[in-house]
Structure 1
Amino acid sequence: MDLPRPFVIRESDHRIHNPFTSGKLATLGRALRLPPDAAVLDLACGSGELLCTWARDHRTTGTGVDISTAFLAKARERAVGLGVADRVRFEHGDASGYVAAGPVDVAACVGATWIGGGVGGTVALLRRSLRPGGLLLIGHPYWRREPPDQATVEGCHATSRDEYLPLPELLEQFGALGCDVVEMVLADQDSWDRYAAAQWLSTRRWLDANPDDELAPAMRAELAGAPARHARYQREFLGWGVFALMDR
């Protein structure tokens, strides 16, 4: 049980596996006004940057669950490097069915709502671990601009335009699920650039080091078109944000 190799290759040097910069992650942590020792559950935690930096900056504790052995190894190294290995722990597993052993103050899924089959299912999953009055964090895409055609939809890694909503409708969806939206921090085009462009360098360096790997032709073809696809589609049409919710 692990992530496909192409994903790991692209994001091998990422600390944050979505279009969120370290500055925006820090802004979110400050905005939530978390008390010391608040317990955080992060499903599909990737390389653990949220848990590790918030443990350092806000003295939270936390558990992260992810399917990627490579990213979890980085998360554990990061925890040691930041001096918070006693405050966070990481589990290898399928986050789609994970429920915390006890109620947590913050239950998060930042950029991986497929673990619940979409926004509604992910909110329902996170609720199973949340204490009354706690915070849900959902990271999710939305349309910045209406896509004009199917090529734009697919260029934004969607199968249909109904897969994402415009920002107002996404916020209304959270309300329809019985949640108040109490904070949000949104990515911008620079955030998208930092996320996407870092993949190109990681891919190129991997190609230089592994020219005879069976994945090399596909990764070479991907790299050849990725910058223009990003500029034409994702950068212009797709937004992304982390939304803090509280049950009504």
Structure 2
Amino acid sequence: MDLPRSFTVRESGHRIHNPFTSEKLATLGRALRLAPGTRMLDLACGSGEMLCTWARDHQVTGTGVDISTVFLANARARAEELGVADRVAFRHADATGYVADERVGVAACVGATWIGGGVTGTVELLRRSLAPGGIMLVGEPFWRRAPDSRAVLEGCHARSEDDYRPLPELVEHFGRLGCDVVEMVLADQSDWDRYVAAQWLSIRRWLDAHPDDELADEMREDLATGPARHVRHQREYLGWGVFALMNR
């Protein structure tokens, strides 16, 4: 049970595995006005940057769950680096269907709503761990522009236009799920650049160090085509944001 090695190669230089900068992650943490001691559950937590930095900055506690052994090792190292290893814990598990043993003040799935089969299922999953009055955090792409070709869909890793919603429709969808949207922090095109373009350098350095690896051809093709795909499609058509929700 782990992520494909190609994924961890691409994102080996990342602490945040989404088009979100450390500055915007900090902005989100401040915006939520978290009380010290707030307990969090972060499903598909990646390298644990949200939990670790918020434990340092806002004195939260909590658990991160992820399928990647590589990212979880990074998360544990980050917790030690920031001096918060006594406040956060990380579990190697499939976040699909994961429910906290005790209800939490913040339940998050930032950028991995596939664990619930989409936004609707992920909100329902997070609710199962949420204490009354708690906040859910959902990170999700949305269409900045309507896709107008199959190439755009493929460049945005979408099977059809229905895979994502335009931003107004996404916000309205949260309402139909019985949620109040109480905060949001959105990525911009520069944030997409920092997320995607940073992968190119990671890939190139990995290729230089591992020219004969069985993944080399795949990663070489990714590096050869990825930059044009990003600037032509993903950067122009796809948005991304984290939305804070409370049950009505």
**Structures share fold, TM-score greater than 0.5:** yes
Secondary structure of the equivalent of 1:24?
Answer: helix
Q: Residue type of the partner of 2:213?
A: D
User: Given the alignment of the two structures, is residue 58 of structure 1 paired with residue 58 of structure 2, yes or no?
Assistant: yes
Secondary structure of the equivalent of 2:27?
Answer: helix
Q: 1:204 matched to which residue of 2?
A: 204
User: Given the alignment of the two structures, is residue 37 of structure 1 paired with residue 37 of structure 2, yes or no?
Assistant: yes
Secondary structure of the equivalent of 1:56?
Answer: helix
Q: Which runs of 4+ in 1 moved over 6 A?
A: none
User: Given the alignment of the two structures, is residue 11 of structure 1 paired with residue 36 of structure 2, yes or no?
Assistant: no
State the identity as a percent.
75
Secondary structure of the equivalent of 2:83?
Answer: coil
Cα deviation, 1:21-74, whole Å, max 9, x if unaligned, reads 000000000000000000010000000000000000000001000000000000
Q: 1:215 matched to which residue of 2?
A: 215
Secondary structure of the equivalent of 2:245?
Answer: strand
Q: 1:85 matched to which residue of 2?
A: 85
Aligned length: 248
Secondary structure of the equivalent of 2:91?
Answer: strand
Query: Partners of 2:190 and 2:21 in 1: how far apart?
Result: 9
- The offset of 1:246, in angstroms, is 0.3
- The offset of 1:166, in angstroms, is 0.3
Q: 2:109 matched to which residue of 1?
A: 109
Q: Residue type of the partner of 2:234?
A: Q
Query: Partners of 1:59 and 1:133 in 2: how far apart?
Result: 19
Query: Partners of 2:221 and 2:82 in 1: how far apart?
Result: 38
Q: Residue type of the partner of 1:163?
A: D
Q: Residue type of the partner of 1:31?
A: A
Q: 2:143 matched to which residue of 1?
A: 143
- The offset of 1:149, in angstroms, is 1.0
Any unmatched runs of 5+ in structure 1? none
Secondary structure of the equivalent of 2:46?
Answer: coil
- The offset of 1:146, in angstroms, is 1.0
After superposition, residues 148-187 of structure 1 pair within 5 angstroms as: 148-187=148-187
Query: Partners of 2:217 and 2:40 in 1: how far apart?
Result: 41
Query: Partners of 2:112 and 2:177 in 1: how far apart?
Result: 18
Q: Residue type of the partner of 2:210?
A: N
Q: 1:238 matched to which residue of 2?
A: 238
Any unmatched runs of 5+ in structure 2? none
Secondary structure of the equivalent of 2:202?
Answer: helix
TM-score between the two structures when normalised by the length of structure 1:
0.99
Q: Residue type of the partner of 2:57?
A: D
